[in-house]
Amino acid sequence: MKTVQTLTSLHLSHHQRAQLIEHALAAYPFECCGLLLGRVRRGAAVVERVIPAANIAEGDRCKRFQVDWRTLLDAYRLARVEALEVFGSYHSHPEGPVRPSVLDEREALSGHVCVIVGPVLQAEPQCGAWVLSPMGTMTGIDVILSGDSEIATDADHV
Ligand SMILES: [Zn+2]
Q: Report the separation in Å between the CA atom of 80 and the middle of ligand 1, taken as the mean of its atom positions.
A: 27
Q: Report the separation in Å between the CA atom of 31 and the middle of ligand 1, taken as the mean of its atom positions.
A: 8
91 falls within a domain: yes
92 falls within a domain: yes
Domain enclosing residue 37, as ranges? 9-144
Q: Which one, of 29, 101, 85, lies nearest residue 61 by Cα?
A: 29
The domain that holds 18 is classified in CATH as 3.40.140.10
Q: What is the pLDDT of residue 147?
A: 73
Q: Report the separation in Å between the CA atom of 118 and the middle of ligand 1, taken as the mean of its atom positions.
A: 10
149 falls within a domain: no
What pTM value is reported for the model? 0.88
Q: What is the pLDDT of residue 151?
A: 46
pLDDT digits (tens, 9 = 90+) for 33-42: 999 999 999 9
Q: Report the separation in Å between the CA atom of 90 and the middle of ligand 1, taken as the mean of its atom positions.
A: 9
H-type helices in the chain, by residue range? 14-27, 69-82, 102-107
154 falls within a domain: no
Q: What is the CA radius of gyration of the chain?
A: 15
The tally of domains found in the chain comes to 1
pLDDT digits (tens, 9 = 90+) for 49-92: 999 999 999 999 999 999 999 999 999 999 999 999 999 999 99
pLDDT digits (tens, 9 = 90+) for 118-130: 999 999 999 999 9
Distance CA 72, CA 53 (A): 8
Q: Report the separation in Å between the CA atom of 103 and the middle of ligand 1, taken as the mean of its atom positions.
A: 7
Q: Report the separation in Å between the CA atom of 154 and the middle of ligand 1, taken as the mean of its atom positions.
A: 33
129 falls within a domain: yes
153 falls within a domain: no
pLDDT digits (tens, 9 = 90+) for 85-118: 999 999 999 999 999 999 999 999 888 999 999 9
